[in-house]
């Protein structure tokens, strides 16, 4: 991948999983995300209940990934909204060589558009130690609605809700 490679956002295909795992391995080595390498990396990237998944490509390289899932009761409670109103952003990562190129913004805009089309609001959790991700979410206008302890772990998690898009937005990110 070079800095001049055009970024393309598209639905994830099964054939993308090996390249997604390769990108995730680079993120894990650099950032410890995920904290522990999963026994089944493809399964980790395909969480239970997943409704959608996207990749951002730069040439033939996967440089970003995101899945959407139902939020579950605990996340809905943390967000202060009923489960049916929420769509959880999960397994979001950007490869180390593609950072600061708008990859996360592409993925998060897709989450906003998908949720809006379904009458839902995106919600996500991030570990309190992930300062770069927290900064990104807060600069992008995500609202911090709570902090909790993850089940069975010592990690503290911050919950963010995306503000609703303007009702008459003509921005293609919301369509």
- Tell me which DSSP letter residue 98 carries: G
Q: CA dihedral in degrees (173, 14, 132, 146; nearest 10)?
A: 80
CA separation for the pair 64, 57 (Å, rounded): 7
Question: 7-174 maps to which CATH number?
Answer: 3.40.630.30
Quote the pTM value. 0.84
Q: Averaged over 60-81, what is the pLDDT?
A: 92
CA nearest neighbour of 175 among 115, 121, 123, 89: 115
Residue-wise DSSP of 46-95: S-TT--EEEEEEETTEEEEEEEEE--HHHHHHHHTS-GGGEEEEEEEEE-
3-state secondary structure (DSSP) of residue 134: helix
The more confidently predicted of residues 168 and 115 is 115
pLDDT tens digits for range 90-126: 999 999 888 888 899 999 999 999 999 999 999 988 8
- Find out whether 59 and 79 touch, Cβ atoms under 8 Å: no
Kind of pairing, strands 52-58 and 7-11?
Answer: antiparallel
Structure tokens at 61: 């390289």
């Amino acid at each position: 991948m070079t800095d001049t490679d055009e970024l393309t956002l598209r639905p994830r295909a099964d054939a993308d999983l090996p390249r997604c795992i390769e990108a995730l391995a680079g993120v894990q080595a650099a950032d410890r995300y995920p904290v522990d390498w999963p026994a089944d990396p493809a399964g980790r990237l395909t969480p239970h209940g997943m409704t959608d998944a996207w990749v951002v490509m730069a040439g033939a390289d996967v440089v970003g990934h995101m899945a959407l899932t139902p939020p579950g009761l605990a996340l809905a409670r943390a967000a202060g909204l009923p489960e049916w109103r929420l769509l959880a952003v999960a397994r979001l990562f950007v490869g180390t060589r593609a950072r600061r190129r708008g990859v996360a913004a592409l993925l998060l805009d897709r989450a906003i558009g998908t949720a809006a089309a379904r009458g839902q609001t995106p919600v996500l959790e991030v570990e309190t130690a992930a300062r770069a991700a927290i900064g990104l979410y807060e600069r992008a206008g995500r609202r911090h609605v709570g902090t909790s302890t993850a089940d069975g772990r010592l990690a503290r998690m911050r919950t963010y809700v995306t503000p609703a898009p303007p009702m008459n937005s003509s921005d293609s990110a919301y369509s």
